[in-house]
Amino acid sequence: MRVPDCDPNPSNEGHKPFLAVHNHDLVILSQLHFLRSNHEVPEVMTSHVMSMNRCGIKTSSAVAHMALQSSGYDNLPFQLKDVYNKVATLRKLDNLPSDSKGALAFLDDLSTKDPDIYVEYKLDDQNHLTNLLWADGVSRRDYMLFGEVIAFDSTYMTNKYNKPLKIVFGINQHFETCVFGYVVIVDETEDIYC
């Protein structure tokens, strides 16, 4: 279709007429999945990815599996980032295990292997982990022998939660460093250290 060079109506001087007919393809079929309307991850595929995540399979591997079944990523009706966004949203809504619950579960699992491990933690009003202290059996025995002088090393706010990680340590009879325990704290107020 040919677009007229000028407006046939002189009263609309400087304006071209609106043509409701497209003179080109809207999108190439191989790029259809880039359109915003095609970024919705179908419920069945979301459930599939979530169940694979619960079995320890990463989201990227789950999507790679679906792409293999669909003969390529171009045939999926979404992009990998869409799946990550959907999974993150569902985890927030479903209140799936958080990092703090995972850490506590890990320490609980260690207690089956090391009966002398010591773990203490505090939760706030919203049931969020605020402070966490742990020391394994070897660290506790080292503290009993060499705990006259202790030191704190602060890895200051370098984790993704901006919470101070404290390493409590000392020196043994051979001038070697002994780790007595680890502490993750919510802040560095005086009450925390008492």
- Are 32 and 61 within one domain? yes
- Are 121 and 164 within one domain? yes
Q: Which pLDDT score, from 0 to 100, does residue 1 have?
A: 47
Q: Is residue 145 part of a domain?
A: yes
pLDDT in tens, 1-12: 455 554 455 555
pLDDT in tens, 136-171: 999 999 999 998 888 877 766 666 677 788 888 999
* Domain final residue, candidates 68, 94, 120: 94
- Are 75 and 111 within one domain? no
Q: In the chain, which stretches have pLDDT less than 50? A: 1, 6-7, 96
- Are 56 and 80 within one domain? yes
For 102, the token pair is 């995972």
Q: Which pLDDT score, from 0 to 100, does residue 11 have?
A: 55
- Are 117 and 60 within one domain? no
Q: Is residue 3 part of a domain?
A: no
Q: Which pLDDT score, from 0 to 100, does residue 152 have?
A: 78
Q: What is the distance between the alpha carbons of residues 83 and 33, in angstroms, rounded to a whole number?
A: 13
Q: How many domains does the chain have?
A: 2
- Are 182 and 105 within one domain? yes
Q: Which pLDDT score, from 0 to 100, does residue 53 have?
A: 83
Q: Which of 108, 137, 102 is nearest to 120 (CA)?
A: 108
Q: Is residue 144 part of a domain?
A: yes
Residue with tokens 């999507």: 63
Q: Which pLDDT score, from 0 to 100, does residue 134 have?
A: 92
Q: Is residue 58 part of a domain?
A: yes
pTM above 0.85, yes or no: no
Q: Which pLDDT score, from 0 to 100, does residue 153 have?
A: 73
The widest CA-to-CA distance across the chain, in whole angstroms, is 99
Q: Is residue 2 part of a domain?
A: no
- Are 78 and 150 within one domain? no
Q: Which pLDDT score, from 0 to 100, does residue 93 have?
A: 66
- Are 108 and 187 within one domain? yes
> Which domain covers residue 77, as residue numbers?
10-94
Q: Which of 162, 158, 178 is nearest to 170 (CA)?
A: 178
Q: Which pLDDT score, from 0 to 100, does residue 158 have?
A: 66
* Domain final residue, candidates 94, 123, 150: 94
Q: Is residue 71 part of a domain?
A: yes
- Are 119 and 177 within one domain? yes
- Are 86 and 111 within one domain? no
